[in-house]
Structure 1
Amino acid sequence: MAKVKYYFDTENLAYRKIKPKVSKKVGVVLLFLTAAALFGFLCFVALLNTPFFETPKDRLQAREIENMQMRYEILNRKMDQIDEVLASIEERDNNIYRTYFNTTPIPEEQRKAGFGGVNRYKEMEGYNNSELVISTSKKLDIISKELVIQSKSLDEIAKLAKDKEKLLTSIPAIQPVKNEDLRQMASGFGYRSDPFTKIRKFHAGMDFSARTGTPIFATGDGVVVAADNKMSGYGNRIVIRHGFGYETLYGHMSKFKAKAGQKVKRGDVIGYVGSTGRSEAPHLHYEVHKNGEVVNPLNFYYGNISAKEYILISKLANQENQSLD
């Protein structure tokens, strides 16, 4: 019950009841209602931010966030596995493939380099799970870059492998005439006595004595770049360009079986032994050139002789006898 207030009326010498103004009553009521409303709103906001009060929409959103976090964790585990496999491939690439093909390994800092400069992940910042999303995105970007580098490296290795296979078939690796008993090797590479002047001079190839008409074989894959008798002293000669800096020359032929511009394979018959040009007897004069320089053909017969046979033919080739041209 509200207290009743009085005041003393000096004129009438009596106490009189104080009547409150209506406007004041209304103000008090409004103040009370406002305070109650504000308190209620604050309580409502507080309840909304506590786990004890969740709407169906909040529960659905919470499940979606939890599901997203779980998927990101699974994605990170898979990327870790991919990174392990990629690291193994990179190790084989540097230490096996690139070593075999004698090419420079890719530096680790180039493979693992990050992304400097501009902040690529700015739009992902400012959220509850920003750290998880940004770290996963960075890892994915780095793996993607490593895959691009490794893919280019494997393309390079594949090209080197093709070139290696082509090189192995192009190197002049067999004797140019059948020489089962190895006795047809008449004169070797180096200084020999000239059959016409009897003066000791440099002999730029090897001479294989054989009957006129004996088949002559291409010693490696290549293209015939000359089949003529325009080079003084060599008579009918064929020159094959094998690529990789290799060329071979076959001189004193009786006739040709290949012509300029023709592609040949190792073992193809390209002509026949004769004694044309500056020649003392039927034989094949055979030369090997590497990057424009004559080299000893004896070093290239690994394709059809054994180690024991190589020693024998080497002794024959190193005898300082008289050449046949």
Structure 2
Amino acid sequence: MSKVKYYYDSESLSYKKIERRKRTTFKYAFMFVLAAALFGFLFVFIASQYVASPKERALARELHNMQLQYELLNKKMNEAEAVLANVADRDNNIYRVYFEANPIPEAQRTAGFGGINRYKNLEGFDNSKLIVASNKRLDVLQKQIVVQSKSLDEIAVLAKEKEKLLAAIPAIQPVNNKDLSRMASGYGMRSDPFTKVRKMHWGMDFTAPRGTPIYATGDGIVVRADSGSTGYGNHIRIDHGFGYTSLYAHLYKYNVRKNQKVKRGDLIGFVGSTGRSQAPHLHYEIFKDGDRINPMNFYYGSLTAEEYSELLEHASLENQSLD
């Protein structure tokens, strides 16, 4: 039951019933609804500013996770760039120097990409600058890896060639020290044993008994094993590649044949005194690009420092050669 309100009329000295008009009732109702609507809007506005919805909280978590992932990616790129820079430094200053190859210019290693805009499809987003910068960085890093990979492939080829070169260079003494009677004559001006005239002696003479083993001083292919060269008698020539050839003269007999591949240290023949020779010995020569050079410079592979010094002292004496 609705409450009935009265008022006191002083003229009639009695209470009279208050009659509410419909207009007034509608006015109060409208004001109430309006006030409720304003309050509700204000509440929602304040809540939206300070209280996140479940969807907003999910989006916030996703954004935070993406930021963490980007930081991790950035850290990994920093580490990759540091490792790659270290490899590039060793490549230029160690590997390429050792194998006598030109260093790769820094501009070539770190060059970007010119021409058309490669990142046009990444533009127009809220974080386009960040996305484009990251993609550019990754592309440059990828290019640097490709450049370094090709460089290491080249170094691998050079290393194989260097290995072949080191194996091919005639780097040991052709006759063992224990088998030598003495080092008879070295490279240089010597007295001819037949004419007694001083002339150039183009090799080294190792005195040893007839039948003493002779060894290949480097890897190569036997290009001659015959007596067809004047003065040398039975002799062997080995082509080592890289411009090097070694010659072994006055042999008693061969242990190899023409076109046979030999390795450093292989037994190729035996000391004799065939050809223009005064006594059993090995006459040994080395050619580089067709020119005779001093074999004394190539014994680092088989002699100690003391043995090399002693051999050098004997080889320097201007005595009489044996051929």
Give the TM-score taking structure 2 as reference length.
0.79
Name stretches of at least 5 consecutive residues in structure 2 with no aligned partner: 1-44
State the secondary structure of the residue aligned to 2:104.
coil
Name the counterpart of 1:29: none
Cα drift, residue 311 of structure 1: 1.9
Residue identity in the other structure for 1:167: L
Q: Distance in 1 between matches of 2:117 and 2:90?
A: 34
**1:203-229 residue CA offsets vs partner (Å, 9 max, x unmatched):** 110111122111111111111111111
Relative to 1, partners in 2 of residues 1:251 and 1:51: Cα closer, same or farther, differing over 3 Å?
A: farther
Cα drift, residue 256 of structure 1: 0.7
Name the counterpart of 1:5: none
State the secondary structure of the residue aligned to 2:250.
strand
Cα drift, residue 269 of structure 1: 0.6
Alignment of 1:64-79 (within 5 A): 67-79=65-77
Name the counterpart of 1:175: 173
Name the counterpart of 1:112: 110
Residue identity in the other structure for 1:124: L
Equivalent pairs counted in the alignment come to 278
Name the counterpart of 2:186: 188
Residue identity in the other structure for 1:240: I
**1:83-111 residue CA offsets vs partner (Å, 9 max, x unmatched):** 11111111122222222223222121111
Name the counterpart of 1:103: 101
Higher mean C-alpha displacement, 225-234 vs 144-153: 225-234
CA RMSD of aligned residues (A): 2.4
Task: Give the conservation status (yes or no) of the 8 Å contact 2:180–2:208.
Answer: no
Q: Distance in 2 between matches of 1:154 and 1:165?
A: 16
- Aligned mate of 2:234, from 233, 236, 251: 236
Higher mean C-alpha displacement, 236-245 vs 248-257: 236-245
Cα drift, residue 82 of structure 1: 0.8
Q: Distance in 2 between matches of 1:245 and 1:273?
A: 26
- Aligned mate of 2:301, from 285, 303, 312: 303
Identity rate of aligned residues, in percent?
A: 61
**1:252-295 residue CA offsets vs partner (Å, 9 max, x unmatched):** 11111011111111111101111111112211110011122111
Cα drift, residue 159 of structure 1: 2.1
Name the counterpart of 1:125: 123
State the secondary structure of the residue aligned to 1:255.
strand
Residue identity in the other structure for 2:144: E
State the secondary structure of the residue aligned to 2:178.
coil
Q: Distance in 2 between matches of 1:306 and 1:68?
A: 66
Relative to 1, partners in 2 of residues 1:307 and 1:182: Cα closer, same or farther, differing over 3 Å?
A: farther
Q: Distance in 2 between matches of 1:123 and 1:86?
A: 29
Name stretches of at least 5 consecutive residues in structure 1 with no aligned partner: 1-46
**1:35-59 residue CA offsets vs partner (Å, 9 max, x unmatched):** xxxxxxxxxxxx9xx9799998787
Residue identity in the other structure for 1:141: D
